[in-house]
Amino acid sequence: MGDYSTPAPETATFHHANDQPYSLQHNHLAACRLNLQHYLWREVFQFNLHPSIPIPIPNPTSTSTSNSETNPPLIADIACGTALWLIDMSHQLPHAHLDGFDIDLTQAPPPQWLPENITLREWDALTPVPADLHGRYDIVHVRLAVLFLSGRDVDPAPFIRNLYSLLKPGGWVQWDELDCVRMCVKKITTTPSSFSSFSCCLGGDDTPALEELRVACSADGRHDWAVGIAGMLEKEGFVDTRTEGFDEKDELVRAFGDQHLLTMGEFGAKLGQGGKVKAAQRFGVLVEEAYREMVGRGAALSIPRVVGVGRKPVL
Ligand SMILES: C[S@@+](CC[C@H](N)C(=O)[O-])C[C@H]1O[C@@H](n2cnc3c(N)ncnc32)[C@H](O)[C@@H]1O
C-alpha cells in the first residue's frame, strides 16, 4: 500500500493504475467476467456465506406481541458489481433483506428484474457511511475491493471502519479477496507413470508472457496486504477474525486462467482509454501470447483466493 513509483510507459504493470480510482471497466465484457467469476469462486468455496458465520434468523420486532411479527435479517454487499452474489444469497435466505452498494450500478439488473428482497443503491464506499445505514446490518459482505483499495494514496483503514460502522453490534463481516502472494504460473508436469498434474512454477523460461503477466499483476507486492485481512479487521475493532485460503483444483486451473486473461485484457483496455497507449498495447500482446502458452505448454496464471471474517463486538 502506498507510494509506488511511476513505471515506464511501455511496461505491463498494475502500477499504471496509480492515478485511477478503479482500474477495470464497466461494460458488458466486465459484467460477463464478474458473472463467470462468481460461479467459479462459488465452485471453489462451496459456499456464499463462510460456514463460521451463523445463518441469521428473523428478529422479533421491538413492538411485536406474537412470534409471527419479525424483522428480516439485513445483509449488505459492498461493491456488489453485477449483484450476482446477492441474487444467489436471496435464494439461500429468502427471509432476509439484501442491500447492494456500488459506485456504479450499470452492470447490475434493473430493480424490476431483481428478487423482491434485493435493493441496490449507489454509494462510494470510500466516503462516510450514510446516516441511515449506521448499525443496520447483520452481515456485510465484500468481494474484490483490492483494485480500488490498492491505489497510490489509498488507505484501506477508513474503508474497514465503514464496514464496522454498517454492522449491528454482534454482526459479521465476510471479505473475499485475491491472494496475490500465492499467485503463480501453474504448469502440467508429466511423471514417469504419465500422470499429469499441475505444479506451481517460478521462472518463466518456457512461458515468458504468462510470467510477465504474473509480475505485472504482482506489481511489487501492491496487492499483498489482502492476505492479512484478519489482522486489518482486528486492528479496527473486529473480534473472532480469521483468514482462510482457497486454491482451485487442477480441473479449474484452466477456467481461472482464461478468466485472468480477460481481466488483464480489461485492465489494458482501461489504460488505453486513459491515454496510456503503450502499456495498453503491451497488455494486449501479452494476453495473446499468454493464451498461446496456455494452450501449447499446458500452463495458466493462478491467483488463489482468501476469505477474511470478523465479528463486531457486542458492547
Ligand atoms: C472487481 S469488481 C467486484 C464486483 C463484485 N463484488 C463481484 O465479486 O462480482 C469491483 C467493484 O467495485 C466497484 N467499485 C469501485 N470503486 C468503488 C468504490 N469506491 N465504492 C464502491 N464500489 C466501488 C466497481 O464498480 C466494481 O463493481
Banded pLDDT at 278 (limits 50, 70, 90)? confident
Q: Does the structure show a pLDDT above 80 at 10?
A: no
Ligand 1 and 287: CB distance under 6 A: no
Q: Does the structure show a pLDDT above 60 at 3?
A: no
Ligand 1 and 121: CB distance under 6 A: no
**Residue with the nearest Cα to atom 4 of ligand 1?**
81
Distance from the CA of 34 to the center of ligand 1, in angstroms?
A: 10
Write down the domain spans for the chain.
14-311
Determine contact, residues 20/224, Cβ cutoff 8 Å. Answer: no
Ligand 1 and 105: CB distance under 6 A: no
148 Cα nearest atom in ligand 1:
16
Measured in degrees and rounded to the nearest 5, phi and psi for residue 49 equal: -110, 130
Give the residue ranges of DSSP H helices in 69-173: 84-92, 146-149, 156-166
Type of residue numbered 69: E
Banded pLDDT at 15 (limits 50, 70, 90)? confident
Q: How many CB atoms lie within 10 A of CB 178?
A: 22
Query: Where is pLDDT greater, at 231 or 1?
Result: 231
Question: Each residue of 246-256: b (16+ CB within 10 Å) or e?
Answer: ebbeeebbbeb
Ligand 1 and 147: CB distance under 6 A: yes
Determine contact, residues 145/159, Cβ cutoff 8 Å. Answer: yes
Q: Tell me the C-alpha distance between 181 and 165, whole Å.
A: 29
The cell numbers describing 262, all together, are: 480477460
Ligand 1 and 108: CB distance under 6 A: no
Determine contact, residues 108/120, Cβ cutoff 8 Å. Answer: yes
Q: Does the structure show a pLDDT above 60 at 110?
A: yes
Q: How far apart are the first and last CA of the chain?
A: 31
Banded pLDDT at 143 (limits 50, 70, 90)? very high
Answer yes or no: CATH 3.40.50.920 is held by domain 14-311.
no
104 Cα nearest atom in ligand 1:
25
Ligand 1 and 276: CB distance under 6 A: no
**Residue with the nearest Cα to atom 8 of ligand 1?**
143
The predicted-structure confidence for 217-259, as pLDDT tens digits, reads as follows: 887 778 889 999 999 999 999 999 999 999 999 999 999 999 9
Which residues, at least 6 apart from 295, have a Cβ–Cβ distance to it below 8 Å?
Answer: none
Lowest mean pLDDT among 69-73, 143-147, 177-181: 69-73
Q: Tell me the C-alpha distance between 178 and 170, whole Å.
A: 26
CA 203 vs. chain centroid, Å, equals: 27
Determine contact, residues 279/268, Cβ cutoff 8 Å. Answer: yes
Distance from the CA of 109 to the center of ligand 1, in angstroms?
A: 15
Mean pLDDT for the stretch of residues 35-63? 90
Q: Tell me the C-alpha distance between 15 and 105, whole Å.
A: 26
Q: Does the structure show a pLDDT above 70 at 191?
A: no
Ligand 1 and 45: CB distance under 6 A: no
Among candidates 33, 61, 50, 2, which has minimal Cα distance to 262? 33
Q: How many CB atoms lie within 10 A of CB 80?
A: 26
- At how many degrees (to 10) do helices 277-293 and 250-273 cross? 160
How much of the chain exceeds pLDDT 70, in percent?
A: 90
